[in-house]
Amino acid sequence: MTISSSLNAGVAGLSANATRLAAISDNIANSATYGYKRVETDFQSLVISSSSGNYTAGGVRSSTQRLVSESGSLVTTSNPTDLAVRGRGMLPVAKASQLDAGNGGVEMLLTSTGSFRADANGKLVTESGLVLLGWPANADGTIPIFPRDTADGLEPVRINVNQLTGEPTTRISLGLNLPATDTDAGATGAPQQLSVEYFDNLGKSENIQVSFSPTLPAAGSSNEWTMEIRDTAQAGLVIGEYTLSFDDARTSGGTLLDVATGAGGAYDPDTGSVIVNVAGGPMEIYLGRIGSSDGMTQLSDSFAPLSISKDGSPVGKMIGAQVDANGFVRASYDTGINRIIYQVPLADLPNPNGMIAMGQQTYLPSNESGSFFLWNAGDGPTGDVVGFAREESATDVAGELTDMIQTQRAYSSNAKVIQTVDEMLQETTNIKR
């Protein structure tokens, strides 16, 4: 019984070391595979209870585990949509074949890196047929609220290069200085004129024409102006009229003191803005808060438009896209603007090493890995997304070659045990002769 158990232990040793060699060969073969996760082999001894002073060899059992939690080094590339995860978390992807089949639910897979490029339909796809998934943004660039424990809200990220788009202007900020000397008694009373371009709902260029007429007192200074706003899209119709009063106190001289509404939306002292109706809809015009110098002021003797800013853009063509560290896909247009069109979340699981390997460096959540949760990149336990980068294989070739030498020696030793047991059994057989 003891001799036969030695034979069984040797056979088990051969099998266990063969398994380890298979894992080592797989690791070495994928030492240049982007995103490859190393396989580790562990040995556990089998102990068989012994009695009457006789020892029975139990042998050894091997088990393998793919170390998904281990990451390789990041290397830079020239493609803006080459993505890698720096830290914890994985990118959600799906097989292009499933999406093209259109048979309903698409299985979400996870990967740590990918070289994504737009296909004929604009979807970001790798050469192996993995499509990047993300949450679509609203027209204003905000991301709606989606469930985080399911993939139902995810859809293929599409980069429609050469697509035309424009954004209407909804807010104008007037940062300018009115000459205080124009409100003195005896001044000419000539109005100051300002024209600000804006873009309507169809991307056409229109103008807001603003005139500032000083109030001339009989003596001293009035520090008061009448502001009239006209819209060229409505044939110069007056859409707002306001009386602006400025402070002349020692500590707050030149700042807004009061805004009285004659026509248009009422002045809101909390926001420092008024709402007027241009041809395309309501528009917010920022004048400045009471007592603040960040908007309109009245100082010195010169009219100076210092900071005139607005949102919106003319119609432009998409020329490219990038993914930032927080997973936001930002489209670039030839007009110089950027828009958020998708957000790519990062999936995290309690036990990443428990996921099922599916090939092409993708993994599927399982009971062992636990349920996934979709985080914003950089939030919670997750790392960030790196563009222009790929994750190298987690294989350490030098370490694998060292393990291969050890495995070879262990295999030879177990083979020697079998040879020795065979010789001993042969000697036992020879006793009968």
Q: What is the pLDDT of residues 243-293, one digit of tens each?
A: 999 999 999 999 999 999 999 999 999 999 999 999 989 999 999 999 998
Q: Could you tell me the two tokens for 353?
A: 């090493």
CA distance 254 to 292: 9
Please give the Cα distance from 321 to 258 (Å, whole number): 46
Q: What would the two tokens of residue 410 be? A: 């262990």
CA trace torsion 284, 290, 293, 297 (10° rounding): 80
Give me the DSSP letters along 247-278.
---TTTTTSEEEEEEEESSPPBTTTTEEEEEE
As a whole number of angstroms, the distance between CA 66 and CA 64 comes to: 7
Q: What pLDDT, on the 0 to 100 scale, is given for residue 347? A: 97
> Using alpha carbons only, what angle is made at residue 382 by residues 376 and 385, rounded to the nearest 5 degrees?
70
Q: DSSP class of residue 90?
A: B
2: CB partners within 8 A, 6+ apart: 54, 55, 56, 57
The whole-number average pLDDT for the span 369-394 is: 96
What is the predicted pLDDT for the residue at 57? 82
| Mean pLDDT, rounded, for 357-373 | 95
DSSP 119-168: -TTSBEE-TTSEEEEEEEPPTTSPPPP--SSSSTT-EE-B--TT-EEEE-
Q: What is the mean pLDDT of residues 129-136?
A: 96
pLDDT higher than 70, residue 132? yes
**Residue pLDDT, tens place only, 66-98:** 999 999 999 999 999 999 999 999 999 999 988
At 103, which amino acid appears? N
Question: Which pLDDT score is estimated for 162?
Answer: 66
Q: How would residue 167 be classed by pLDDT, with cut points 50, 70 and 90?
A: confident
Reading the block at residue 316, the tokens are: 């432009």
For residues 336 and 82, the answer to whether their CB atoms sit within 8 Å is no
Q: Please compute the mean of the pLDDT values over residues 28-47 and round it to a whole number.
A: 93
Q: Are 273 and 285 in contact (CB under 8 A)?
A: yes
Span between the terminal Cα atoms of the chain, in Å: 22
Pairwise CA distance, residues 99 & 407, whole Å: 44
pTM, rounded to two decimals: 0.75
Residue range 423-431: mean pLDDT, rounded: 84
Domain ranges of the chain: 2-67+394-432, 74-165+316-391, 169-311
Please state at what angle helix 397-432 crosses helix 2-29, rounded to 10 degrees.
160
Q: How many Å apart are CA 140 and CA 332, to the nearest integer?
A: 15
Separation CA 256–CA 420 (nearest Å): 101
**Which residue is it, tokens 């390997």?**
357
CB of 22 closer than 8 Å to CB of 403: no
Model confidence pLDDT, tens digit, residues 342-356? 999 999 999 999 999
Lowest mean pLDDT among 16-25, 47-56, 264-273, 354-363: 47-56
Classify domain 169-311 by CATH number: 2.60.98.20
- To which residue do tokens 């002769």 refer? 433
Question: How open is the CA angle 30-353-326, to the nearest 5 degrees?
Answer: 85
pLDDT of residue 50: 65
Contact assessment for residue 213 and residue 189, using Cβ atoms and an 8 Å cutoff: yes
What are the structure tokens assigned to 244, written together? Answer: 């602006």
**How big, in percent rounded to 5, are the helix, strand and coil portions of the chain?**
20, 40, 40
Residue 18's CB is within 10 A of a number of other CB atoms, namely 13
